[in-house]
Chains A and B, each alone.
Chain A
């Protein structure tokens, strides 16, 4: 399968702990996007990369959140000092270029206790 993959699929953590999620995009895709989806809502944009460069960050991305794509391939999203409000599905998507169709991974469901 050559689709977008995310790891882990589920994560339960205690408030105050740090968590890190990984996304592997479709191999030829230059663009990589992170979204957050809470219950009953559509996904909300967090940030995106063109190769290894982070081009834009949403105001939703507080200073506890950091994303990297060091070699322009996989990306990580880290949340420091997690809060209960961080509980959500974190989705990753990739596309071959800007303004092209985005292909989504299965998501990482985070529960902060």
Chain B
């Protein structure tokens, strides 16, 4: 069975400093992994996805994530936070043999001026 754990429910960083949002997954097969962002009163937007090509995945808005099979992790990073990055971020896993996707509980990112 697949599952995903987001290790922090809230993360606060100052504008201009690096962002790290942590995610660990469990999957019976070779997984697909995604990060989605949800701004208040807006729909979920795909940031990036991993599907077994390069382990370092680049997404939109300067975000990237690295797939580490040995650590079963898929942490999301950004070198320099911007005020507009304040939102809820969800790590998502999908087994290759399953059409369903499983969401983590989310990490709320706060950007301090």
Contacts and interface: CB of A to CB of B under 8 A. Distances in A.
A40 B32 CA distance: 24
A2 interface: no
Interface string A23-44: 0000000010000000011111
A106 B40 CA distance: 10
A45 B100 contact: yes
A101 B34 contact: yes
B105 interface: yes
Interface residues of B, number: 23
A78 B103 CA distance: 23
Given A4-B43, A40-B105, A43-B90, 17 more contacts: A41-B105, A42-B90, A42-B103, A42-B104, A42-B105, A42-B106, A56-B99, A56-B100, A99-B94, A99-B96, A99-B99, A101-B46, A102-B101, A103-B46, A104-B36, A104-B43, A106-B43
Contacts of B46: 101, 103
Interface in A78-95: 91, 93
Contacts of A102: 101
B78 interface: no
Nearest to A45: B100
Interface of B: 9, 32, 34, 36, 41-46, 49, 90, 94, 96, 98-106
29 contacts: A4-B43, A40-B9, A40-B105, A41-B105, A41-B106, A42-B104, A44-B103, A45-B100, A45-B101, A45-B102, A56-B99, A56-B100, A91-B43, A91-B44, A93-B44, A98-B99, A99-B32, A99-B96, A99-B98, A99-B99, A101-B49, A103-B46, A104-B36, A104-B43, A104-B44, A104-B45, A106-B42, A106-B43, A107-B43
